């Protein structure tokens, strides 16, 4: 399958014949990848990809420094196309419309017009319903329509991408070439979106060095110059060298670092959103199969390639959150290597303070676990499960049928969560990059060691105007304290923004581990590295470095300080050693690992899913 697909990709850009509209397939039958008819069409030696550019197309890159929007940033509009899978689309509207505007691409005629859609949403109690937060919300006010031609539901792959000029100054849209041969209308949807929103659309459709084929499911940006792809982007552009591809990404998106990974053996579409997702600038959510199953080995190899060769934009290693890739119950609880559909929980969409996550066939054991992991990784966010059983047989889920457009005037806050610390005397410095096109009037740092008692606040100061760095200090806390904090910024225009967005319900946090006053050189335990995987469900490794032989213990505590399990107790020899805990039978929630000797005690947080 992989070799055939690769050859088709290579063929698709070199074959030569015009496309007849009689080849257009019914909308409800089109998968994310190439349909059988499209594959047959591209085998013809006379076929060539149609040119969809017109006199209104902008085929040169935008001018000025560019920054591609990250998917966790503020969203002003969510795009969907109203065609197949309406039962899923209506649940997307139900979940997302309370957060932001939903723009629905529809034909404006027949059964797909806006009146029919409104009636359907009303009949299914999507509009004028009680939503999250639990107050009555007239969601129809947040539903709009774009009357435009289209072929399929897969908005992620053919929809436009939000790019900002000068970081936050102005918004433009970038549209790649979409290489599905029987879907010429899909490739024109970005122009329709641009007209609706009065935004310029820049297309990578000019022959030569500005011609790039790409799909949104194979694209992740950290919002700060890094993008992730599978090597499908190379297979889709055989006429370009890798440096030429990177140059186009730089000219159209401001990408300075493009991370490309080998395609997966059993994922026929090779879109990375089926198994990996950026949750923030430094955290990767990664799909996990049972050992040796399906694409599990290649996913792990790709992850280790990233971790070994690239740091986050902050210069520190990426954090990793694991989430199961579930078996397919329809096909006998099988995985893709044995004929199962490609079920995934990474194919989710973040919309401001809400995350919509796929669910499958009332698959309770896996579905509930996935929601717990998402909620643990995105504290304070409204994590909503939407049944995606109907779409997954076509190799797509919620992320595949949605697309986000940011606001014209984003208020950008970039901050790296403070790490756990042994410091109990010096205030904790909090730095954040904060920008708005009108400038920042003020920024405030909120902090507490007990969220039930509320947050104290202190003003932040602009400490580096060139880098737009604002700084504040949290007072030092004693050993064993969990510190919670968030940042609020106010632009000169009056716009405000929080980071994390759901604050104070969600926040940054770190542990003050501390010592008993013994200096670093005298300490028996030099350090305790982060346990992994964390969140945990099964065997978890606890790495400890010990300076000299001693006696000690490693224990797991609940948040009330009760001992849940004694992981180890006895002689602890000098050197680096890994200790292990099996969390399979431990209730989901937050816990603390404590390493204790007569001289010192170190703790760290462990989430069990």
Alpha helices by DSSP H, 459-507? none
Give the model confidence (pLDDT) of 200-230 as tens digits: 999 999 888 889 999 999 999 999 999 999 9
Question: Under a CB-based contact definition with an 8 Å cutoff, are residues 434 and 440 in contact?
Answer: yes
In the chain the domains, ranked by start, together with CATH numbers, are: 2-43 (no CATH), 66-405 (3.75.10.10), 412-512 (2.60.40.650), 525-608 (2.60.40.1930)
**Residue 11's pLDDT band (cuts 50, 70, 90):** very low
Q: Residue 365 is inside which H or E element, if any?
A: helix 364-377
What per-residue confidence (pLDDT) applies to 136?
37
Q: Tokens 């890798």 belong to which residue?
A: 242
Tokens representing 65? Answer: 């420094």
Looking at residue 109, what is its pLDDT? 61
Greater pLDDT, 521 or 490: 490
Q: How many CA atoms lie within 13 A of 338 on its CB side?
A: 11
pLDDT surpassing 80 at residue 551: yes
What region, left, alpha or beta, does residue 332 occupy, with left being phi > 0 and alpha being psi -120 to 50 degrees? left
235's CB contacts (< 8 A; 6+ apart) are 6, 9, 10, 263, 270
Grade residue 143 by pLDDT with cuts at 50, 70 and 90: very high
Distances (CA, A) of 421 to 169, 416, 478, 604: 37, 14, 11, 10
Q: Given the structure tokens 């076509």, which residue do they identify?
A: 394
* Rounded distance between C-alpha atoms, residue 565 and residue 549, angstroms: 23
pLDDT at 6 over 50: no
Over the stretch 72-94, which tens digit does the pLDDT of each residue have?
999 999 999 999 899 999 999 99
> Cα angle vertex 230, ends 246, 86, to 5°?
115
pLDDT for 162 = 98
Least confident of 44-58, 227-241, 585-599: 44-58
Percent of residues, the chain, with pLDDT higher than 70 = 85
- Provide the token pair at 73: 């940033």
Res 521: pLDDT: 38
Q: What are the backbone dihedrals phi and psi of residue 76, each rounded to the nearest 5 degrees, phi first?
A: -100, -35
**Arithmetic mean of pLDDT, 179-208:** 92
User: 172-176, 393-397, 438-442, 530-534: lowest mean pLDDT where?
Assistant: 530-534
Nearest to 151 by CA among 268, 29, 45, 59: 29
Q: How far apart are CA 463 and CA 285, in angstroms?
A: 33
Dump pLDDT digits (tens) for 482-520.
999 999 999 999 999 999 999 999 999 999 986 533 333
In tens, the pLDDT along 300-313 reads: 999 999 999 999 99
**pLDDT tens, residue by residue, 340-358:** 999 999 999 999 999 999 9
Measured over the CA atoms of residue 557, residue 563, residue 565 and residue 567, the dihedral's sign is positive
Average per-residue pLDDT for the chain: 86
């Amino acid at each position: 399958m992989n070799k055939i697909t690769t050859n088709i990709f290579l063929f698709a850009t070199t074959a030569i014949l015009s496309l007849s509209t009689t080849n257009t397939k019914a909308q409800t039958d089109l998968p994310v990848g190439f349909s059988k008819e499209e594959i047959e069409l591209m085998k013809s030696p006379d076929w060539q990809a149609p040119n969809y550019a017109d006199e209104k197309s902008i085929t040169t890159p935008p001018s000025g420094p560019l920054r591609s929007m990250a998917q966790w940033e503020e969203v002003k509009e969510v795009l969907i196309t109203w065609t197949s899978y309406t039962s899923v689309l209506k649940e997307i509207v139900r979940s997302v419309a309370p957060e932001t505007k939903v723009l629905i691409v529809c034909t404006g005629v027949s059964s797909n017009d806006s009146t029919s859609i409104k009636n359907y949403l009303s009949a299914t109690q999507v509009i004028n319903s009680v939503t999250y937060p639990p107050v009555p919300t007239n969601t129809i006010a947040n539903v709009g329509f774009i009357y435009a031609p289209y072929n399929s539901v897969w908005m992620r792959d053919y929809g436009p991408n939000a790019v900002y000029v000068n970081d936050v100054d102005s918004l433009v849209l970038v549209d790649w070439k979409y290489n599905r041969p029987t879907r010429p209308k899909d490739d024109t949807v970005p122009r329709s979106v641009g007209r609706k929103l009065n935004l310029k659309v820049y297309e990578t459709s000019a022959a030569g060095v500005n011609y790039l084929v790409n799909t949104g499911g194979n694209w992740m940006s950290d919002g700060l110059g890094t993008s992730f792809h599978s090597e499908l982007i190379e297979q889709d552009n055989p006429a370009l060298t890798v440096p030429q591809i990177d140059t186009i990404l730089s000219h159209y998106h401001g990408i300075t670092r493009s991370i490309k990974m080998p395609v997966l053996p059993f994922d026929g579409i090779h879109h990375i959103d089926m198994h990996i997702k950026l949750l923030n600038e430094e955290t990767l959510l990664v799909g996990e199969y049972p050992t040796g199953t399906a694409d599990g080995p290649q996913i792990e190899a790709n992850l280790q390639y990233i971790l070994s060769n690239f740091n986050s934009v902050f210069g520190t290693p990426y954090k990793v959150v694991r989430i199961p890739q579930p078996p397919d119950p329809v096909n006998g609880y099988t995985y893709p290597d044995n004929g199962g559909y490609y079920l995934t929980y990474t194919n989710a969409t973040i919309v401001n303070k809400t995350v919509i996550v796929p669910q499958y066939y009332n698959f309770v054991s896996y579905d509930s676990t996935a929601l717990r992991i998402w909620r643990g990784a995105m504290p304070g966010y409204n994590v909503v499960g939407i049944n995606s059983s109907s779409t997954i047989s076509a190799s797509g889920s919620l992320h595949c049928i949605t697309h986000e457009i940011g606001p014209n005037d984003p208020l950008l806050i970039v901050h790296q969560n403070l790490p756990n610390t042994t410091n109990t005397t010096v205030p904790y410095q909090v730095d954040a990059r904060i920008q708005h096109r009108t400038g920042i009037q003020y920024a405030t740092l909120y902090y507490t060691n007990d969220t039930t008692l509320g947050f104290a606040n202190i003003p932040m100061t602009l400490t580096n105007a060139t880098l737009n760095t604002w700084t504040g200090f949290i007072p030092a806390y004693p050993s064993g304290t969990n510190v919670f904090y968030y940042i609020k910024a106010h632009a000169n225009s009056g716009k405000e923004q929080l980071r994390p967005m759901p604050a104070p319900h969600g926040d940054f946090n770190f542990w003050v581990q501390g010592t008993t006053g013994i200096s670093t050189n005298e300490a028996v335990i030099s350090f305790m590295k982060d346990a992994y995987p964390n969140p945990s469900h099964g065997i978890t490794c606890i790495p400890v470095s010990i300076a000299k032989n001693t006696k000690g213990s490693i224990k797991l505590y609940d948040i009330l300080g009760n001992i849940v399990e004694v992981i180890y107790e006895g002689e602890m020899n000098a050197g680096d050693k890994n200790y292990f805990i099996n969390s399979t039978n431990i209730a989901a929630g937050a816990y603390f690992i404590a390493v204790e000797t007569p001289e010192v005690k170190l703790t760290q947080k462990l989430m069990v899913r």
